[in-house]
Amino acid sequence: MIHWIITAFILDLLIGDPYSWPHPIKVIGNFIAWFQERFTQTKNDQEKYRWGVILWLITVCGSGLATYGILRIGFLIHPFLGTFCYVYLAYTTLATKSLALEGRKVYQKLMHDSLDNARKQVGMIVGRDTNELSKEEITKATIETVAENTSDGVIAPLLCLFLGGPTLAMMYKAVNTLDSMVGYVTPKYRAIGWFSAKMDDLWNFIPARLTWLYLLAASKVLRLNTANAWKVGKTDCRNHKSPNSGYPEAVVAGALGIQLGGTHLYHGVEIYKPTIGVSLRTAKPQDILTANALLYATAVLSLIVFSIKAIIINYYF
């Protein structure tokens, strides 16, 4: 099945995620939104904690069961249909090109459009309030998103694909989608999203640290400031409210020689975040493209390593 995963990876690089295509993550997101509207609007915080656990269990387990069922039915009908379902579902869990494309959109707005439009564009990919961000803050916000999602959108689902196929990878995407929709510490989401946020931390523990390693290797391949990436990656990887997000962000900040992180507004609430890295220079829009290059190099390196390990395991065991 390694060649099916490689095919899915190549498809993701070639076509990304066209908005008009059917996508399982959209279904997951719509279900989460419906569940919140239907079951949690009038509950007190204690009840919301319980419903948050129920939401997580239904969403994650349901995603896994649905994916397993589709694959099972597909292979029962015909091997070709089963293979198609496997590759397509695997492809939908990866987000390399779409992540890079969103970063490039912000870059284009910064370079060729108004600051207000750049703020609106970055607001499409970050959770913080963007109405008053400066040009440099928009650049940093985009780089942070690309860095963090190198783990969440590429390395983690790819690792899950090699460990448990599309079923495990889709369960991971459900975990990640829950965190992105309800895993905030603001009053609105603190109770309903607490369990989802904690589970996301748990599921991303290993992928984030693997991403740290692959990003470091990628910075060497791209001839960036690998020494500083190593230094900042070691010292500042825990300078984040998330136990995982600081790992990829620290390496990217060090490789680029800029400072990331800091306090920002989320849904009108000021959330403190420590800084990551030492500002050797001002962040420039071009750094977004460099972050994209790190994303692609990291994705390819991880695919090569995971494939080699899988081949070795299959051969000897």
The 10s digit of each residue's pLDDT in 20-47 is 888 899 999 999 999 988 877 766 878 8
Task: Answer yes or no: is pLDDT of 184 > 90.
Answer: no
Close Cβ partners of 144 (under 8 Å, ≥ 6 residues apart): 126, 249, 260, 261
Q: How far is CA 109 from CA 64, 128, 133, 161, in A?
A: 38, 18, 14, 35
207 band by pLDDT with thresholds 50, 70 and 90: very high
pLDDT of 230 reads: 97
Q: Which pLDDT score is estimated for 270?
A: 67
Give 40 or 203, the one with higher predicted confidence: 203
Q: In terms of pTM, does the model score above 0.85?
A: yes
Contact 63, 24 (CB under 8 A): yes
Predicted confidence (pLDDT) per residue in 144-167, tens digit:
999 999 999 999 999 999 999 999
Q: Are 32 and 59 in contact (CB under 8 A)?
A: yes
